Every structure is written in C-alpha cells, then in structure tokens.
Structure 1
Amino acid sequence: MKRLLSLLLALASFATLQAAADAPGLVNGNPPDIKTLKTGDKAPDFELLGTDGKMHKLAEYTGGEALVVLFTSNHCPTSHSIERRLQKFYEEYKGKGMKLVAINPNHPDGLSKDELGYGEFGDSYAEMKPYSEKNHWTFDYLYDGETQKIAREYGCLATPHVFVFDKNLKLCYKGRFDDSRYYDDATVKSKDCQNAVDEILAGKTVTLAETKPMGCSTKWREKKFLHDAKHDAWAKTPVTVEPIDKAGIAKLRANTTNKYRIINVWATWCTPCVQEFPDLVEISRKFDMRDFELVTISMDKPEDKAKAEAFLFKQSAGMSKKVEASLKKEGRTTNSYLFAGSADDLAAALDKDMPGPIPHTIVVAPGGEIVYRHNGIINRDDTANAILDKMNRFYSPGTGKK
C-alpha cells in the first residue's frame, strides 16, 4: 500500500512540474496579449462593476489635474501594507485636484489555497466590499477579475501596481505605490506615487516616470491549471501515523521552532472530530507558505493505526514539501501521531485547561504559549482569524512574522 502511495505521489509531483512548464495561455506568467503602457500613452477606457453595485467608467474620474489608477487586491500582503497609506493619501489629495480609483484585477481561480494565508479575504467580487469597508476606504473599488480585460490593457503585472495620468489622461508614472512592502509607515523612504502626483499638480514633468511594481503577481484565470495540479498533489500525499508518548507531546507543546502550530486531538470514532477535519486541513493549506503546521494527535487504539492513516489520507492531510523540510530540521518525520496514554497525561503534557472531551484544538506560538484554544468543533473562519491576529496580515521586517 505504501509503495503504491509513494508511486502516486511521484506521479503527482511530476504532473505539477509539467503544469508549471506547460501552463496554457501564459507566457512568463502573463497572458501573451498583455500590453505595456509607455509614458505619454492614453489611459485605456473601462466600464467596471464597483463595490457599490454600480458600473463605473473612466470618464467619471476625469476633470482633475491628475488621475491615479491603482490595481490592488484583497489577499496580497503587500497590498495590505499600503491600505492605510492609500486612504490617507486619498484624503490628503482629493481636494487638490487628484482623482483615484482602485481596481481588483484578480480572478479567484488564479489563486492557490496557500496564497490566502495573509488575510480573511480572497479576491472574489463578493469579498471586495467587506475588505474595502474594513479598511474604511472612501474611493471607488472596481472589479476586473471576471474578464481581466482592463488588467491586460493597462499591463498590470502585480498588486499593487499604480498608473498615474495627467489631466489629459496621458501616462506620467507607473510602478510601485511607494518603496516599502511593510505596514509600518516609518519604513517608507520614497513616496513614488505621491511624488509623481505632486509634480503633475505643480505643472512639472515627473522626474521618476517608472519603477518596478512590488507585490503579488496578477492572478490570471489561466493559473487555475497550475493550482489544480498542486492541490491534486497534496491530495495524493501519503500519511504516516507514529506513536507518541507524554514526553513527545510536551516537546511539541514547548515549540522551540519559529512556527505556529495548530494541534488537534481527535479519533476516527469521534463524530465531531470527523466532521471538523476538512476545516483543519483547509487551515493548514491556507497557511502553508507561512511558518505554520498542523499537528494531529489521534486517540485511537494502537491496533487502529492503519485506520487512522487511511482516514488522514482520505482527508488529504499529508504534509506539504515545505512542512516536511521543516520537520527534518527538528529530527521528526511526521505530523500525525497516535497517543495511547491516559487522558490525564495528555492534558498535563498538552493543555492543562483541556476539559476532557474531543475534539480539542490549540494554537501554540513559538516558545510554547497557547494563543488559542477551542473544545468541540471549530469554526474555520474564527480559528483562521485568531491565527491571523497573532501572525499578522502583512510583512513585518525583523519580527519573523511573514
């Protein structure tokens, strides 16, 4: 059985590599018909649906001295980093003759599950309004994800990606919003978009007309092919359950790594455990590109080890390559365990406040502090948001929170 699973995993990995090489409809990560706007080019027209449920045209944003067209997204940590700065910039300049409109260029199919680990929102139209409201944005936020036609016409390579036009709608600047990918305003050394607007408002030629956009690549719909292959590979990853004792659990709880651990106590005979398990797997995939791992501790009888392994495999709970590599550094070979000791020993080693029933879930920060606990069936969104509150929704220099 294990030999068959290993063969399936190898074939899945090969398929993933082939997908990366043969992604249909993309050249170097972008559609072949994507355009490149040059200084002096006219702003391409558009008619897009806004978070207010209305259609908006380019003409609505004319009549000022400068127009900022900003491509941004709900999911991207670099976009998250400029959320406050963007609103502050708009409030300061909207009365000075500047117009601003934000556009989401991404299609949800263009996102892999592990690209959603920096926030509670994906890039669908439905998620744009709550995301905008959370940020207290007062400018229009439009959706181009369905066709991605406007992203192609502007040459949107990433989110965020800024295009600044003069009163004649001629391109004067394109590139990054500013030179920091971090949330802390003190890390900004060059306010590139603002500088361009200042020069336009002063009637000057923009000194720095182009910078490289810094952020998350545009999530073209064509990328679904790649992500499906990755998700299929995850689903075919073998699972090995190993026995663990009280000392082993205490070591996991101590968590001397830089990772956050979500540790779940479960059993195949536990109906609520089985019911919640897909959500645990989704959480682990969501945070897979971050310093994070899912650890499961089965309370099944030792003779039911194969049954536990079969269940975990069916749930696609196998470790990703990233998690597997991190375990090797610790001298571990699995994240799936079976504990045959007493409930008292389990609570003493894992969580003294564990009330007894399973499922029981805790999130352990680096250093061993329990930062979240829940007894019973978890709510996936609540649990993920609790993790995000601790890990951050954006890049932070020098903190390990990334």
Structure 2
Amino acid sequence: MAVYWRSVPDRPHRFIPGVPAMIKIGYSALFAMLMAVAVCSADQPPGFQTLEIGDAAPDFTLPGIDGRDWSLDDFSDGKILVVYFTSNHCPVCHAHDPRFMKLVREVEGRGVAVVAINPNSGDGLRPDELGYSKYDDSFEDMKPYAEEHGFTFPYLYDGETQVTAKRYGCLATPHVFVFDQQRKLRYKGRLDNSRYPDPATVESREARDAVLALLEGQPVPVAVTKPFGCSTKWREKIASVEEDQQRWETADVSLAQIDADGLSKLVKNPTDKYRLFNVWSTTCQPCIEEFPGLMQISRRMGLRNFELITISTDLPKNQDRVRAFLSAQRAVLPPRLKPSLEAEGREGNNYLFTDPDIDALIAALDPEWEGPEPHTVLVAPGGDIVFRHTGKMEASELLDTLLKIMSNTYLP
C-alpha cells in the first residue's frame, strides 16, 4: 500500500533535531492517514478484497434456488458475464430489480450470461432493517422473491460463508460487475443513478452502457461508479444483532390511560407517520392470537415513519393484567420513535381506554367500525383512514397491506 502525504499551507512545521525533515513534516499526516485506513478496513470483514478493472472474475460454487450448485464455469458460453449482487430486503433492489430485468430482456439472445447473487447473511440483519420487504434475506425467501420479480436467471445464495461477496468486493446491494469474454472485469458499480422505482427518474444507465459497449466491441464509456444501496450484511454483524435483541427483551413497556378526546387527537395525526391503531382486550381470544404478529410488524417497521398504537378495552381496574400481557408480548416502543413521542408529550404507544361509553371510542377512532374486536385502522399523515379491518388478521397479510400502501421502495 502506498501512503501519500502533503503539508498543510500556512501551518509552521516543528523541526526536531536529529529527525529527517520529511519524517518531521509528514508524521502527523501519515498517522492520520493510517488511522483512516484502519477505520476503513474495519468496516469490511477479513478476506474482503477490491476487484480492479482488468482483474479476472473470481471462481465460486454456490447453491441456487433451483436446487443445484452453480460455478463460474457454468457461464462460460456467454460472451459477457453480468454478476448482479442483489437481496430480498433492500428497497433500492426493489426499485432496481425491474430495471435490471428490462436490461436482461433487452440483451436476450446476444450472448450475455447473467447470474444474481444474494451476499447477505440473514443473521446479520436486525428486524427493523426489514421494514421495506415482506421477505428476509434467508435462502428460503429467495425463491418466492425471485418468482415475484420474474427472475429468468440463476439466483444464488452466498450468505452461509460470504466468500464470493468478499472476493468480488461486494459493498452493497445492488452491486453490478460486468466481465468480458475473457472474464476480465470491465465495469463495476451501480445499475443506474436513481434510487427510486420510477424509470423517469433515471438519467444515466452505466451498467447498460457497459454491456452494450462490450457487445459492440467498443470501450466501456464509464468503467467504475459507486454502488448505492443497502450495505452488505456481513456475518461479523451477528453480535450487534444479538445485542439489539437483548435490548428489546429487557426494554421497559409502558401503559397509559386515554379517553375519547385523547384518542381523537391521536387519530388526527398531524405527523409524517402512518399510525396503525389496534383495539384489543385480554378477554378477546382473537386479539390475543393476533397480538404477537402486531409486535413483529411494529419492530420490523421501526426505522420507517410508522407507529403501532394499541388501545385496550379492558376495565381500568384490570390495568395490571393488561400491563403484564404487554410486557410478556414485548410491546416495546421502537427507539427511533422516542424523540417524536417526547415532542408530543407522550411516553409510549400502549393505552387503556377509560371512558365508560364504548360508542365514544368508536366515534373517536372509526365511525364505520361496528364494534367487534380486534379492530385495526391505518391512519395516514393528516388523519385520513386508508385501511380498516375487523377481526383477526394474519401478520403476513397485514404486512403486505402496509407495504402496498406505504411502498416497498424509497419515494421522492
């Protein structure tokens, strides 16, 4: 590794007798640079390397969702090889995958071999990093994800060892690598310049330009760009995921009383968050069965503009029973929500309704609700009800509904 330094203008150098001038002048800069390199290196796991333009494609043997193992030699017939690192959970991948599929269709029959690789370890993600997807990055979820997105090429799993991701230098998903017929790297970086799903937001398509240039025997216009997306979830991160789990298991659970007026103010929702209200009680069996799924969703959506607000209709004298149930279910407030709740003068999102008249609850929350529990209402910023459901709802169905309304990608 070469280390370069330069002196800073208008800053006098302190000369120490017996020490060569170059060392005296450059010592501080050299130390700072070495520290910066150490910090940068610490961000990547052992064995990580960076492929440079002209480097050979590293070999691999990885399991595919079709039940067989694939290696680099399986793609030897292609004039060009495109290695597309993607993942099931990432909102940028959700935006890019359809455009990548369009590129694949455009060059179909022209000798372009394509392979997609999921580099992530499912154990390396916190639950709140899955808030833009109904899938996680496990091998089991790769097949339904690929089917939903219409993948027509092998989709391989590297999350068990991540050796391939390290050899290719996969920094994020998505990350594109394009190799020529001799399997020398000719392009690496992003698919295009937009993180949004709307194709109209795309101004440059560097990966496509590279593939078309190689097909036409022309130099690649731009050989290197910086990938933008979700950082590769290395297995070395598992310890921090376990720490997050420990914090969640030991966090305090709050319960406050609320009346119809207080609930009405929450429903008006003058925030930028979607508010999911769930009315329940400890004497309602469907409510009890539904509740764990609601907790999973609350935690999963913890990094998004979203909050779950639970409204118990248990009698106020049974407050201890409600609190014990909430604690057992880990009805914990996601950390990201604490500042916004403090600004509103609230301590938590679990409430016990205190008015004797349940009609007041119905009027404050959802006048169209006929009364049975559980009842779930999604309120958009500004107070409009955009979804309602009476009765038990499976967590997967509710999550799918939320993602359709709130989007599974970044939006302008």
Asked if Structure 1 and Structure 2 have the same fold, meaning a TM-score greater than 0.5 normalized by the shorter chain, the answer is yes
Q: Do 2:298 and 2:334's aligned partners in 1 also have CA atoms closer than 8 Å?
A: no
1:254 aligns with 2:268: yes
Which whole-Å deviations, capped at 9, do the CAs of 1:274-327 have from their partners, x for residues lacking one? 222111110001111100001011112223223322321222112122111121
| 2:79 maps to 1:65 | yes
Deviation of the 1:272 alpha carbon: 2.6
Match of 2:14 in 1: none
Q: CA deviation at 1:134?
A: 0.8
2:322 corresponding residue in structure 1: 308
| 8 A Cα contact 2:294 2:395, kept in partner | yes
Deviation at 1:27, TM superposition (A): 5.5
Q: Distance in 1 between matches of 2:88 and 2:49?
A: 24
Q: Which residue of 2 aligns with 1:143?
A: 157
Q: Which moved more, 1:310-319 or 1:293-302?
A: 310-319
Matched, 1:56 2:74: no
Match in the other structure for 1:244: 258
Contiguous gaps of at least 5 residues in structure 2: 1-39
CA distance in 2: counterparts of 1:378 and 1:142, whole angstroms: 33
| Offset of residue 54 of structure 1 | 1.9
- Residue aligning to 1:101: 115
The question of 1:234 aligning with 2:248 is answered yes
Q: CA RMSD in A?
A: 1.6
Question: Secondary structure of the residue that 1:82 maps to in structure 2?
Answer: helix
Q: Deviations over 1:38-72 (max 9, x none)?
A: 11111011122222112222122223332110100
Give 1:291-302 correspondences, 5 Å limit.
Answer: 291-302=305-316
Aligned residue number for residue 301 of structure 2: 287
The equivalent of 1:345 in structure 2 is: 360
Deviates more, 1:37-46 or 1:205-214: 205-214
Any conservation in 2 of the 1:237–1:313 contact (CA below 8 Å)? Answer: no
Of the structure 1 ranges 385-394 and 147-156, higher mean CA displacement relative to structure 2 is found in 147-156
Partner of 2:286: 272
Q: Report deviation, 1:198.
A: 2.1
The C-alpha deviation readout for 1:374-399, integer Å capped at 9, x for no partner, is 222220000011111100010111xx
The match for 1:225 among 228, 239, 261 is 239
CA contact (8 A) 1:236 1:313 kept: no
Task: Answer with 1 or 2: which has the greater Rg.
Answer: 2
Structure 1 residue ranges without an equivalent (≥5): 1-25, 398-402
Paired amino acid for 1:320: P
Pairing 1:30–2:44 present: yes
Asked if structure 2 preserves the Cα contact closer than 8 Å seen for 1:110 and 1:223, the reply is yes
Among candidates 371, 374, 377, match of residue 362 of structure 1: 377
Identity %: 49
Residue of structure 1 in register with 2:135 after alignment: 121
Amino acid aligned to 1:319: L
Aligned-partner Cα distance in 2 for 1:299–1:256: 25
More contact order relative to length (CA 8 Å, sep ≥ 6): 1
Which of 358, 382, 386 aligns to 2:401? It is 386
Residue equivalent to 1:19: none
Q: State the TM-score, normalized to the length of structure 2.
A: 0.87
CA contact (8 A) 1:118 1:388 kept: yes
**Equivalent AA in structure 2 for residue 188 of structure 1:** V
Provide the C-alpha distance between the structure 1 equivalents of 2:242 and 2:389, rounded to a whole number of angstroms. Answer: 32
CA distance in 1, matches of 2:320, 2:269: 27
Quote the Cα distance in structure 2 between the aligned partners of 1:382 and 1:367. 25
**1:224 corresponds to which letter in structure 2?**
I
**Cα distance in 2 for residues equivalent to 1:270 and 1:100:** 52
Counterpart residue number, 2:7:
none
Distance 1:317 1:222 in 2: 29
Number of aligned residue pairs: give it.
Answer: 372
> SS at 2:401's partner residue?
helix
